[in-house]
């Protein structure tokens, strides 16, 4: 009989390398497919899959509520995708993907770097609920109803989080926009 994820993780915490291999083999393809289905591109899905499996093996959770680790890994994957989407959003908002590679002069590159840093700080200062809405709304173009379904929150709550986040962002970034 195959061991459950909870049993494998207990063995991994004790240093069992066979358990590490068994856990990785069991979940590496599933994590990649799940990340793809959640909207991650193939290269990003591969990176996320590897990161999630390595994270589970290097720091196995102590509070696994189920015999399967997939629910736990789903949350990690969703957070990683949201983080990647947030990074893309910051680049899109500032019109900047790589300051060093830009063909602009040094002053313009420095100004763009300052703008990018300000946007990034403003996003990081938002609450988790506010921050979660941005990549879904602007990165993936989802409606408030779709975001509500994904986040298991009422649509009005999602709309309020979005509205508050926009207000905070406008206030914090007003010096960059006339």
For the segment 70-119, what is each residue's pLDDT rounded down to a tens digit?
A: 888 998 898 888 777 777 766 666 554 544 444 555 557 677 777 778 88
- Class in CATH terms, 95-178: mainly alpha
For the segment 123-166, what is each residue's pLDDT rounded down to a tens digit?
A: 888 888 888 887 777 767 788 988 898 888 999 999 998 888 88
C-alpha span between 9 and 28 (Å, rounded) = 15
On the 0-12 / 13-18 / 19+ scale of CB atoms within 10 A, 17 is exposed
Find out whether 44 and 102 touch, Cβ atoms under 8 Å: no
pLDDT for res 91: 63
126-129 contacts, C-beta under 8 A, 24 or more apart: 126/165, 126/168, 126/169, 127/161, 129/153, 129/157, 129/161
Q: Enter the DSSP assignment of 4.
A: P
- Class in CATH terms, 1-78: mainly alpha
**Residue ranges of domains in the chain:** 1-78, 95-178
C-alpha span between 45 and 36 (Å, rounded) = 6
For the segment 27-60, what is each residue's pLDDT rounded down to a tens digit?
A: 999 999 999 998 888 999 999 999 999 989 988 8
C-alpha span between 121 and 113 (Å, rounded) = 12
CA-based nearest residue to 46, from 21, 77, 15: 77
């Amino acid at each position: 009989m195959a061991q459950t994820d909870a049993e494998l993780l207990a063995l991994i915490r004790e240093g069992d390398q066979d358990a590490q291999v068994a856990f990785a083999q069991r979940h590496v393809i599933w994590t990649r497919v799940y990340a793809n289905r959640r909207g991650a591109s193939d290269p990003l899905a591969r990176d996320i899959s590897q990161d999630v499996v390595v994270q589970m093996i290097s720091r196995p959770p102590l509070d696994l509520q189920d015999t399967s680790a997939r629910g736990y890994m789903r949350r990690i994957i969703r957070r990683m995708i949201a983080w990647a989407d947030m990074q893309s959003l910051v680049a899109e908002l500032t019109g900047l993907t790589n300051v060093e590679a830009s063909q602009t002069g040094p002053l313009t590159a420095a100004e763009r770097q300052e703008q990018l840093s300000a946007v990034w700080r403003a996003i990081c200062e938002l609450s988790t609920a506010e921050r979660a809405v941005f990549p879904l709304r602007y990165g993936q173009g989802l409606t408030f109803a779709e975001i509500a379904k994904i986040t298991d929150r009422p649509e009005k709550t999602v709309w309020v989080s979005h509205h508050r986040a926009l207000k905070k962002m406008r206030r914090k970034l007003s010096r960059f926009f006339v």
